[in-house]
Amino acid sequence: MEQPTRPLSPEKILDVWEAGRQQHELDRALTLLTAASGLSRDELADLTIGERDARLLRLRKLVLGAGAAGISECPECGERVEFAIDTATIATRPANCLTKLWKPSARRCCKLIRSRKLSSR
Ligand SMILES: [Zn+2]
């Protein structure tokens, strides 16, 4: 199912923004990828979260470039830190498993969970 992600025209970005602004984040991700991939929403909902996020990062790079601004807060003193990050660095590392953050005893990794599964909860 590997389809090239294509950049979005300014008009298409506005269409996607308009359609996605009232949507849940799960649906917004699928709206973006549907516009950029030519795949159906159904096909994209079957991607693992890791595959989905890799495609979102590729799309972001095509539209906005590889640079991104990160913001974090020190857990000790609360000091806010801003930093620049190359999204290629994120894409080459496995994402943190959110399932294991929510439930440390979980056996499954969220990277194997699919959008379809999350939206049915
Ligand atoms: Zn600190």
Ligand 1 centroid from CA 72, angstroms: 11
What percent of the chain shows pLDDT beyond 90? 34
Ligand 1 centroid from CA 82, angstroms: 13
Ligand 1 centroid from CA 81, angstroms: 9
Global pTM reads: 0.70
Ligand 1 centroid from CA 73, angstroms: 8
- In the chain, domain spans: 10-119
Residue 118: per-residue pLDDT: 75
Residue 9 has pLDDT above 80, yes or no: yes
Q: Kindly state the helix (H) or strand (E) to which residue 18 belongs, with its residue range.
A: helix 10-20
Q: What is the per-residue pLDDT across 75-92, written as a single tens digit (0 to 9) for each?
A: 899 999 999 988 877 765
Residue 18 has pLDDT above 90, yes or no: yes
